Amino acid sequence: MKQKILVTREVFDDVLDYLEGYFKVDSNQSDNLLDAETLAARLADKAGAMTTIADRIDSKLLRQCPDLKAICNIAVGFNNIDLAACTSTGVMATNTPGVLDDSTADFTWALILATARRVTESERYLRAGQWQGWKLKQFLGTDVHHATLGILGMGRVGQKVARRALGFDMKVIYHNSRRLPQEIEHDAGNATCVSLDELLSRSDILTVHTPYSQATHHLIGAAEFAKMKPGAIFIHASRGGVVDDAALVAALQSGKLAGAGLDVYEGEPNLNPGFLTLDQVVLTPHIASSSEATRHNMAMLAAKNLVAALTTGNPPNLLNPEVRGA
């Protein structure tokens, strides 16, 4: 008899076809977010699940799902999953690293250029019928070429963002939990490792690529914004919670920062209403990895993780390898 699994949100048809070759699949193709009670009920008799960052997997839910053996997130981030609780209950947890790095780096550059050159602000102006013709000082923006790009978090995505800066003749500096090997720094736009304070004070454009955890909660807040260069641009496409959004709103309202490009927010899908009052902010709804090819690859990798977890017990992207000894 085939094991039962749950796919918590809509995925591509061929991904479902692949899973149905191994499992009896309960799929949520209507794409409605399952609340905690409904999620627990749907998972109660399942051996595994493909989840998203919107699905909270915690000890309370796991206690209600005694048959559960694997949770496979369609994301690199996994702050929606209590790994310790998974390990203690013998549940494998996986993510989808690598397949979305280039698309996320591309989108980071979309935010950088749109913010620096006031693209969305000027488009709204034009669409509202306010444009009356060319003016010398109309929508003056910030040059990206030859500017100093600061990268907070120089992992896979941060490095790809840095490589793209070569085409703009930028100076790249970064701050990371550890310095990268010299050959990687060279490949990443001849990047230079600096302290966090130096990163803040020198960056014309600062982009954040740090995973969220309790250790990185509000890593960037009022004190950090105060240290940034007046007129700098702030970009965030990693995870909500790394940045204190209220402090960012205040820094933008005060004129300390020239603008911000944001794809992630605290408490999303809710966001600080102050952002909506600021013309110099580019806002997108957590779509940095949302190209068709990349999102398909993410879903298929999660599916392959789930198949491996429930057939061999050895998924390729296991987040809690200690579960094997639990």
pLDDT, one tens digit per residue, over 197-253 is 999 999 999 999 999 988 999 999 999 999 999 999 999 999 999 999 999 999 999
Under 8 Å between Cβ of 240 and 267:
yes
Which residues are catalytic, by number? 239, 268, 286
- Which tokens go with 286? 């957590």
CB neighbourhood size of 37 (10 A): 10
Helix-strand-coil split of the chain, %, nearest 5 = 40, 15, 45
pLDDT at residue number 1: 87
Which residue do the tokens 């699949």 mark?
25
In this prediction, residue 325 has a pLDDT band, given cuts at 50, 70 and 90, of low
Q: What mean pLDDT comes out for the span 282-309?
A: 98
CB proximity list for 150: less than 8 A, separation 6 or greater: 173, 174, 175, 199, 200, 202, 203, 204, 205, 206, 207
The model's pLDDT over 150-170, given as tens digits with 9 standing for 90+, comes to 999 999 999 999 999 999 999
Q: What mean pLDDT comes out for the span 142-156?
A: 97
Mean pLDDT, all residues of the chain: 97
Fold of 101-283: Rossmann fold (3.40.50)
Q: Mapped to the 3 state alphabet, what secondary structure does 182-241 carry?
A: HHHHHHCCCCEECCHHHHHHHCCEEEECCCCCHHHCCCECHHHHHHCCCCEEEEECCCCC
Instruction: Taking the CA atoms of 104, 105, 107 and 111 in sequence, report the sign of the dihedral they define.
Output: positive
Q: Which CATH architecture has domain 4-98+292-325?
A: 3-Layer(aba) Sandwich (3.40)
Please name the amino acid found at residue 225: F
In this prediction, residue 324 has a pLDDT band, given cuts at 50, 70 and 90, of confident
Round to whole Å and give the CA distance between 110 and 287. 11
Q: What percent of the chain has pLDDT over 90?
A: 98
Round to whole Å and give the CA distance between 243 and 266. 8
pLDDT at residue number 98: 94
Round to whole Å and give the CA distance between 100 and 105. 9
Q: What percent of the chain has pLDDT over 70?
A: 99
Q: Regarding predicted confidence, which is higher, 62 or 214?
A: 62
State the span(s) of the chain assigned CATH 3.40.50.720: 4-98+292-325, 101-283
- Which tokens go with 145? 């070429």
pLDDT at residue number 326: 57
